[in-house]
Amino acid sequence: MSPPHTPDPARRNPQATAAILEAALAMASESGLAKVSIEGIAARAGVGKRTIYRWWPSKGAVVLDAWAQRLEDRLFKHLQSAQSDDFEADLKRMVKDSWLGAIGDSRPVLAWLVGEAQHDPDLAIELRDRLIGPARDRVAVRIRRAQDEGQVAPDIDPYRAIDLIYAQLYYRLLVAPGPHDEAFTESVADLALRGLRPR
């Protein structure tokens, strides 16, 4: 018995793929993510449901793919560009530009994906490997440089520092709603810096 075939994403039809991803984002924007369905995406994109299921295992995977393709370049560019000699300024810029600039109005999509990932292990892995993990790695590089330059305490784990910074953003997004504005992102950085500076 031959092993099950795993479709090669490189063999996707580019026109159908673009139509599917565009339909998924449009439906999410117009009707809310809870109302997105594979059937609705297929109808709007003019493809069969089997075409979608051949490449994506769930509606969450389609939305993540569509959202990530739109976001990846902007998010990683913002994080990579914060490379001055002033860690405090760079941190404030990374938080503001990623949370308000790159993610911006699509924060509800991120909130929904995080929620879906709690009961979809495959989606959780894809979200972590494609966006959250690479973003954390880029911030960790900047924190390590700040440690080398004496701007951050040397005994702090960079990834725990990232938790200290970005947990504030996710908490407001998912648990305790409030303004997402420049004043908030600056206060996030200021509060984290109190615990990160050398004593």
> Cα–Cα distance between 141 and 133 in angstroms, integer?
13
Predicted confidence band of residue 167 (pLDDT cuts 50, 70, 90): very high
> From the CB of residue 118, how many other CB atoms can be counted at a distance below 10 Å?
9
The SS3 call for residue 108 is helix
Q: 88 is written with which tokens?
A: 């405090």
Phi first, then psi: what are they for 162, rounded to 5°? -65, -40
Question: How many residues are given for the chain?
Answer: 199
* Region class of 58: left (phi > 0), else alpha (psi between -120 and 50), else beta: beta
What is the pTM (predicted TM-score) of this model?
Answer: 0.81
Q: Is residue 98 within 8 Å of residue 110, measured between CB atoms? A: no
> Cα–Cα distance between 155 and 26 in angstroms, integer?
46
Task: Specify the pLDDT at position 76.
Answer: 83
Contacts of 108 (CB under 8 A, 6+ apart): 33
Place of tokens 């994506």: 56
> Cα–Cα distance between 147 and 174 in angstroms, integer?
31
Helices vs. strands in the chain: H and E counts, helices first:
10, 0
> Cα–Cα distance between 198 and 190 in angstroms, integer?
14
> Cα–Cα distance between 124 and 113 in angstroms, integer?
8
pLDDT, one tens digit per residue, over 171-190 is 999 999 899 999 999 999 99
> Cα–Cα distance between 57 and 42 in angstroms, integer?
14
pLDDT, one tens digit per residue, over 104-162 is 888 888 998 999 899 999 999 999 999 999 999 999 999 999 999 999 999 999 999 99
